[in-house]
Amino acid sequence: MAHQLRCLPIIRTILSRVQDENHIPLELHRFLAGDRIEFRGNLPLDDEAGSKLVLLFKLQERMRDLDRVELIARGSSGSRAKRQDTGSAG
């Protein structure tokens, strides 16, 4: 639980970038407005957000070091625009 609380701002950032096919933000971060994850439904994630969140949750299951979990979360929340500006694939 502590892992999720510490990573919650980063999870919100990942969710805030999800858009529909017309590039309209879905504002999914609103479902995590409190200080804990209470939403227990399905969110319409795009491939990038879904992959990042699955990876984050799977890796954090076995880690005890909160600093490492937070570092992984911050690394997975990298911006698409930043990657496009630098010309690197991601």
Q: pTM here?
A: 0.67
Q: Find, among 55, 58, 51, 31, the residue nearest to 43 by Cα.
A: 31
Q: For residue 16, which of 3, 32, 1, 2 has the smallest C-alpha distance? A: 32
The string of pLDDT tens digits covering residues 36-85 is 666 777 888 888 888 888 888 887 777 777 777 777 777 767 655 444 44
